[in-house]
């Protein structure tokens, strides 16, 4: 099923949620094995940022439980503006929530995200409650235009809530959005949890979050059935404990007073000179540097240190300055070995950085810029 045909996906999804055949948005043939269980309504194909393909099987119950929990957290059902591809869970969720609310979504045409087109589309929304779901890159473009164009700002302020997910939002971007009076909520979740099930660090509905041996685990009625045709991978990340079924996210974090803070990825840990270094923590620190809100840190091999961090950004900075900032905040081992400026960061269609491509570019870091630890 072509993912750019939101109307076709919307219609097929409505039937699937009512007990019809499961759908696979993004596959031109929409082909699914005959062995798909009847309870499965949606299959989301995702590679994340590692390039490893997987098909997440979601039931009608899980998708509708996610929608119900979101409605409660947002103050009720409403009308949605679709600005994300519908072969990603965040885009699909806009359609699921529209179906559950019995409202017609306003659909932004596929292609390059234009803040002016987004603002114009929002004028078509006429429900009492208005929502949208965005990735941080889209929010950044909207904020930049809204800071200069009051007519766009007025339209953005009409949203009762703008859900921001898919990747971590920089504190600088969040602060700018809030200063403009935008009603943003940072969400956390994945295809395996029917999308965001934690809003601003707090689980929604009956979702639960905990940290076991440093890893974030999530539970609730919105969990996926597992991975289609891959029982081993399913068993590796979904498990029963304490009377609940839990999903091991692969993220590191902590829960303090009921609020979850995600600190990085288990697979985002590198060993440099025998010291564990979190790429996500490096990104978090360097994104606070003026002009580096889009900084991305990836691992690269080093003969001397084993592994080092290489930082990419569309901004400019001196390597020695970045090393000083990272060292002060995280320790010497976290100082990046190189900083590489790109006119544009490669990204996946979801808006997330393409870490595979950046990793390939980082392989030549010693020829770009370097500094000893």
Q: Alpha carbon of 41 to those of 13, 57, 118, 274: distances in Å?
A: 8, 8, 30, 47
Domain count, the chain: 2
Tell me, rounded to whole angstroms, the distance of Cα 311 from its chain centroid: 20
Residues 91 and 234 in one domain: yes
Q: Among residues 208, 229, 260, which one ends one of the domains?
A: 260
Instruction: Tell me how far apart the alpha carbons of residues 180 and 164 are, in angstroms, rounded to a whole number.
Output: 16
Per-residue pLDDT reduced to its tens digit, 245-262: 999 999 889 999 999 999
Q: Determine, yes or no, domain membership for 266.
A: no
Residues 234 and 148 in one domain: yes
Q: What is the pLDDT of residue 341?
A: 95
Determine contact, residues 189/204, Cβ cutoff 8 Å. no
Q: Strand 184-190 to strand 161-164: parallel, antiparallel, or no bridges (unpaired)?
A: parallel
Instruction: Tell me how far apart the alpha carbons of residues 305 and 275 are, in angstroms, rounded to a whole number.
Output: 10
Residues 211 and 171 in one domain: yes
Q: Determine, yes or no, domain membership for 206.
A: yes
Determine contact, residues 126/46, Cβ cutoff 8 Å. no
Q: Determine, yes or no, domain membership for 296.
A: yes
Domain that holds residue 308: 273-367
Q: Determine, yes or no, domain membership for 287.
A: yes
Residues 166 and 245 in one domain: yes
Whether the pLDDT of residue 373 is over 60: the answer is no
Q: Determine, yes or no, domain membership for 309.
A: yes
Instruction: Tell me how far apart the alpha carbons of residues 78 and 160 are, in angstroms, rounded to a whole number.
Output: 9
Residues 245 and 289 in one domain: no
Residues 175 and 226 in one domain: yes
Q: Among residues 260, 289, 319, which one ends one of the domains?
A: 260
Per-residue pLDDT reduced to its tens digit, 136-147: 889 989 999 999
Q: Alpha carbon of 15 to those of 3, 184, 222, 242: distances in Å?
A: 17, 31, 19, 35
Determine contact, residues 215/268, Cβ cutoff 8 Å. no
Q: Determine, yes or no, domain membership for 98.
A: yes
Residues 124 and 186 in one domain: yes
User: What are the counts of helices (DSSP H) followed by strands (DSSP E) for the chain?
Assistant: 11, 20
Residues 130 and 240 in one domain: yes
Per-residue pLDDT reduced to its tens digit, 113-157: 999 999 999 999 999 999 999 988 899 899 999 999 999 999 999
Instruction: Tell me how far apart the alpha carbons of residues 217 and 239 are, in angstroms, rounded to a whole number.
Output: 10
Q: Strand 184-190 to strand 195-199: parallel, antiparallel, or no bridges (unpaired)?
A: antiparallel
**338: CATH:** 3.30.300.30
Residues 93 and 185 in one domain: yes
Q: What is the pLDDT of residue 48?
A: 47
Residue 3: which pLDDT band, with cuts at 50, 70 and 90?
Answer: very low
Residue 371: which pLDDT band, with cuts at 50, 70 and 90?
Answer: very low
Q: What is the pLDDT of residue 266?
A: 82
Q: Determine, yes or no, domain membership for 373.
A: no
Question: Does the model's pTM come out above 0.85?
Answer: no
Instruction: Tell me how far apart the alpha carbons of residues 282 and 62 are, in angstroms, rounded to a whole number.
Output: 35
Q: Among residues 260, 283, 314, which one ends one of the domains?
A: 260
Residues 184 and 302 in one domain: no
**68: CATH:** 3.40.50.12780
Q: Determine, yes or no, domain membership for 311.
A: yes
Residues 255 and 278 in one domain: no
Among 124, 133, 62, smallest CA distance to 94 is for 133
Determine contact, residues 318/297, Cβ cutoff 8 Å. no
Per-residue pLDDT reduced to its tens digit, 180-210: 999 999 999 999 999 999 999 999 999 999 9
Whether the pLDDT of residue 372 is over 50: the answer is no
Residues 305 and 243 in one domain: no
């Amino acid at each position: 099923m072509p993912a750019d045909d939101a109307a076709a996906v919307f219609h097929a999804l409505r039937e699937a949620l009512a007990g019809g055949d499961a759908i696979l948005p993004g596959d031109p043939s929409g082909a699914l094995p005959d062995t798909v269980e009847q309870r499965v309504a949606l299959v989301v194909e995702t590679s994340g940022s590692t390039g490893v393909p997987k098909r997440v099987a979601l039931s009608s119950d899980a998708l509708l439980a996610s929608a119900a929990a979101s409605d409660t957290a947002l103050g009720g059902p409403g009308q949605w503006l679709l600005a994300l591809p519908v072969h990603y869970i965040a885009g699909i969720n806009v359609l699921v929530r529209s179906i559950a609310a019995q409202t017609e979504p306003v659909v932004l045409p596929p292609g390059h995200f234009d803040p002016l087109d987004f603002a114009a589309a929002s004028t078509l929304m006429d429900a009492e409650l208005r929502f949208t779901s965005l990735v941080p890159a889209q929010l950044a473009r909207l904020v930049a235009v809204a800071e200069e164009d009051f007519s766009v700002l007025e339209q953005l302020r009409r949203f009762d809530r703008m859900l921001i997910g898919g990747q971590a939002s920089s504190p600088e971007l969040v602060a700018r959005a809030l200063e403009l009076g935008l009603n943003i909520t940072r969400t956390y979740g994945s295809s395996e949890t029917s999308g965001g099930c934690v809003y601003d660090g707090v689980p929604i509905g009956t979702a639960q979050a905990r940290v076991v041996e440093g890893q974030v685990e999530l539970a609730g009625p919105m969990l996926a059935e597992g991975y289609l045709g891959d029982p081993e991978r399913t068993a590796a990340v979904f498990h029963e404990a304490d009377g609940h079924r839990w999903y091991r996210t692969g993220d590191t974090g902590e829960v303090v007073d009921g609020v979850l803070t995600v600190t990085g990825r288990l697979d985002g840990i590198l060993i440099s000179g025998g010291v564990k270094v979190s790429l996500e923590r490096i990104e978090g620190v360097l994104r606070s540097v003026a002009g580096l809100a889009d900084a991305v840190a990836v691992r690269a091999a080093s003969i001397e240190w084993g592994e080092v961090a290489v930082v990419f950004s569309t901004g400019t900075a001196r390597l020695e300055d970045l090393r000083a900032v990272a060292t002060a905040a995280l320790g010497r081992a976290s100082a990046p070995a190189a900083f590489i400026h790109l006119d544009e960061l490669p990204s996946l269609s979801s808006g997330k950085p393409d870490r595979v491509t950046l990793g390939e570019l980082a392989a030549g870091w010693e020829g770009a810029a370097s500094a000893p630890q």
